[in-house]
Structure 1
Amino acid sequence: MRNKTWALIGDSILRNHAQSLVCLLSKVERAVQVHHDDNYKSRKWHFRTHNFTLSVIWSPFLVKADVFEDDNGVSKSETELYLDVLNNKWTSVYHTFDYVVISAGQWFLKTTIYWENNQVVGCHYCPAKNLTELGYDYAYGKVLQMVFSFVANSSHKPLVFYRTWAPDHFENGEWWSGGTCKKTGPYRNGEYDGKELDHVMYKVELDEFERARNGSEDSRHLKLLDTFPLSLLRPDGHSGPYRQFHPFENKKNAKVQNDCLHWCLPGPIDYWNDLLIQLVTNH
C-alpha cells in the first residue's frame, strides 16, 4: 500500500465504510486529515510514513443531482436526478486513484424526478405530479450502467470494487416512524432473509455487474465486493438509539430516533474491509 491512493465514493454508508478503514489502518500509523469539505461529507487522510492517501467522496447518487433537503433528511422539494450525467465530483479526480470502492443505493428510495437527454422522463413516488412512475430500481440500474461503462471505457485502470447493498434492520417501523433495532446477537444462517426491497436492489447490482463484466474486456479490473449476505445476518451491529452522542444524558427515557442502517465501530462493518484487503492481496 505504500505510495498508493484510495478513494471510496458514494453515500453515508460508504463514508461509514471509510471510517472503519481509517480506524483499522491507524493501528499501524496515525492518519492525518488533510482535507474536508464544509460539512465533512468528503474528506481525505494521509499516512505520511507510507505515503498512502485515502479519500472519501460524497456522491450518494453517483450522477448529477439537485437535492433539496437538510442533514436530517427533511426535504423541501423532490430530488431531481440526471440519469445520463455522472457526477464530476468523482469523475474529475478518478484518474488520480490506484484503488476505488464505489457504492450507492439508499438515496434512490427518495421521492425523485428523473431527467434524461435534458428532459423529464418520469419519477419515483410523485403521485401529485402527472409523470410516469419509473421506480427506484429503474433509476438505480441506469446509473450503474453509466458507472460501469465509465470504468470500462476510461483510459485510467485502477482496481475498482463495487460494494453491494447494505441492508437496514429496522423493526416495528422505519427511521421516520419509530423503528428500532434491539437485537443483541447475529441471526443464524437462513434465519432471516431480509426485506423485498433488499433483494430488488441487490438483484439490480448483480445483474448490472454481470452485464458489465460480460460486455467488455476492459472491465476486468472491475470487481464485486459482495458484503450483502454477511451484513444481512448482523442486526446487532447498528448504532440504534446512539445515533447522537449521549442521547439519554438529560432524560433516561427520552424518545430518540434510532439508526438501524449505519454501523457501529468497531463492528461488523470492519469485516467489509477484511474482505476488501483479501481481494486486493489476491488480485
Structure 2
Amino acid sequence: MFLMEIGSLMKATLYIMLHIVPFAERGFDCVVNGRRDRGYQKWRWKPKNCEIPRFNVHEILGKLRGKRIVFVGDSLSRTQWESLICILMQGVKDKRRDVYEINGNKITKRIRFLGVWFSSYNLRIDYYRSVFLVQPGSAPRHAPKRVKSTIRLDKMDDMSKEWIDSDFLIFNSGHWWTPTKLFDMGCYFQTGRSLKLGMGITTAFRTSLKTWATWVETSVNRNRTRVFFRTFESSHWIGRNRNSCKVTRRPWLKTKGKDRSRISDIIIDVVKKMTAPVTVLHVTPMGAFRSDAHVGTWSDNKSVADCSHWCLPGVPDTWNEILLSMMLSKDGME
C-alpha cells in the first residue's frame, strides 16, 4: 500500500462529516480544539494490487439494514466506532431524529458501553470498553502489598456475553499492556488462584489472546457473526519514556521501525492457529508513517500532548473504509 494525497473536495467532505455529528468526542476533534493545518485530513492509503470499492454510503446503509456492529477494546476502538458513525451519518437525511444514542449517555472515556441506533435502517453500532478483553480482578487474599489488582488471564471480561448477539465483531487490544498501565499501578497477572508475579507482559498478552480465541471458537455463532481483530496502532512518541510528542506537518517518509510491533505479531500468530474464521486488520505498517495525524496538543486537555490517539477525521476513517469493504464483500454478507 502507498500513501496518496486526496483533493480539496474530499477534504471538505471529511471536515463536514465530523462537525455535523453530535456524538463525536471533543478530545478527538482537533479542528474545534484549535488545529489550523488540515493536511493530515488529505492523506489516504491506496492498495497497490487492488482497489477499495468506491464509497457509496446509501448503498452501504442498505446492506447493513437490520445489522448490529460491535466494537470491543480500548480508546482506539472507541475512535474507530466514532469514525464509523460519522461516515454512515452522511447517508441519513434527518440526522437528529433518526440517529441517537441508545442509553442517552454523552461519550466519555470511562463509560463501558456506548451504542448508537440508526432507526431508519434498524442498525446498531455499539462500543464496549474492555481494554484487556480478559477480566480485571481485585488482589487475592495474602497477596504481596505491591499487588493492588490483577488481570485474570484465563477469564473473559464479564461483559463478553453482551457481545455475542452481533453480526460484526471488531476487537482491538494492546495499548494497556505496558509497565506503566500494569506493574507501576500494582496490577499483576493471575490464572486460576495463582498469581504470576514473574510473568512478562508479552507472555501474558499471548495467554489472554488464547483465552479470547477459545471464547470466539466456543461462544460466537460463526454462521452469523463475522469477527475482526485490528492490530496495534503505531504511536509516535519521542524517547523511551514517551516524554515528548511531536506532531509533524506531513507523514514520515520512513517508518523508523514503527511498522513492526510485538503485540501485532502475537495477534497474527494466535489468529492463524484458530479454528474459527477471524480476519486480521493489520494496520500497524499503515500508521507507522502517520506522525502528522495524531491529536498532539489539540485535545480537550491541551496540557497533555498525545501521540497515541488520532484526530477525527483522520486515520481511523481509513481503517473503516477497509473494514467496510471486507464486511460488505460477498463472503462478509453471507
TM range (shorter): 0.7 to 0.9
Q: Distance in 1 between matches of 2:306 and 2:138?
A: 22
Matched, 1:277 2:333: no
Following TM superposition, by how much is the alpha carbon of 1:119 offset from its aligned partner in structure 2, in angstroms?
A: 1.8
Gap runs ≥5 in structure 2: 1-63, 140-145
- Secondary structure in structure 1 of the residue aligned to 2:238: coil
Cα deviation per residue 1:130-178 (whole Å; 9 max; x = unaligned)?
xx2x211011101111111211222522100001011211124645x3x
Following TM superposition, by how much is the alpha carbon of 1:40 offset from its aligned partner in structure 2, in angstroms?
A: 3.3
Q: Which has the higher contact order (CA 8 A, sep 6+)?
A: 2
Kindly provide the amino acid, as one letter, of the partner of residue 192 in structure 1.
K
- Residue of 149, 162, 168 corresponding to 1:99: 168
- Residue of 108, 132, 137 corresponding to 2:202: 137
Inter-CA distance 155–273: structure 2 relative to 1 (3 Å threshold): closer
Q: Distance in 1 between matches of 2:154 and 2:112?
A: 24
Following TM superposition, by how much is the alpha carbon of 1:41 offset from its aligned partner in structure 2, in angstroms?
A: 4.3
Q: Distance in 1 between matches of 2:149 and 2:216?
A: 26
Q: Distance in 1 between matches of 2:263 and 2:100?
A: 36
Inter-CA distance 79–11: structure 2 relative to 1 (3 Å threshold): farther
Kindly provide the amino acid, as one letter, of the partner of residue 260 in structure 1.
C
Q: Distance in 1 between matches of 2:255 and 2:234?
A: 15
Matched, 1:193 2:257: yes
Cα deviation per residue 1:192-216 (whole Å; 9 max; x = unaligned)?
2218xx521121111111122xxx2
The percentage of counterpart residues that share the same residue type is 21
Kindly provide the amino acid, as one letter, of the partner of residue 7 in structure 1.
V
Q: Distance in 2 between matches of 1:275 and 1:8?
A: 15
- Residue of 116, 119, 138 corresponding to 1:45: 116
- Correspondences of 1:1-283 after superposition (within 5 Å): 1-29=64-92, 30=95, 31-35=99-103, 36=105, 39-66=110-137, 78-89=148-159, 91-109=160-178, 110=181, 111=183, 112-122=187-197, 132=198, 134-154=199-219, 156-157=221-222, 158-172=225-239, 174-175=241-242, 177=243, 179-188=244-253, 190-194=254-258, 199-212=261-274, 216=275, 219-220=276-277, 222-244=278-300, 247=302, 256-282=303-329, 283=331
Following TM superposition, by how much is the alpha carbon of 1:230 offset from its aligned partner in structure 2, in angstroms?
A: 0.6
Inter-CA distance 191–143: structure 2 relative to 1 (3 Å threshold): closer
Kindly provide the amino acid, as one letter, of the partner of residue 284 in structure 2.
F
Q: Distance in 1 between matches of 2:70 and 2:280?
A: 16
- Secondary structure in structure 1 of the residue aligned to 2:86: helix
Kindly provide the amino acid, as one letter, of the partner of residue 100 in structure 2.
V
Kindly provide the amino acid, as one letter, of the partner of residue 264 in structure 2.
Y
Following TM superposition, by how much is the alpha carbon of 1:191 offset from its aligned partner in structure 2, in angstroms?
A: 4.3
Q: Distance in 1 between matches of 2:138 and 2:306?
A: 22
- Secondary structure in structure 2 of the residue aligned to 1:137: helix
- Secondary structure in structure 2 of the residue aligned to 1:140: helix
Kept in 1: contact 2:147–2:188 (CA 8 A):
no
Q: Distance in 2 between matches of 1:182 and 1:4?
A: 38
Aligned-pair Cα RMSD in Å? 2.2
Q: Distance in 1 between matches of 2:157 and 2:315?
A: 30
- Secondary structure in structure 2 of the residue aligned to 1:234: coil
Aligned residues: 245
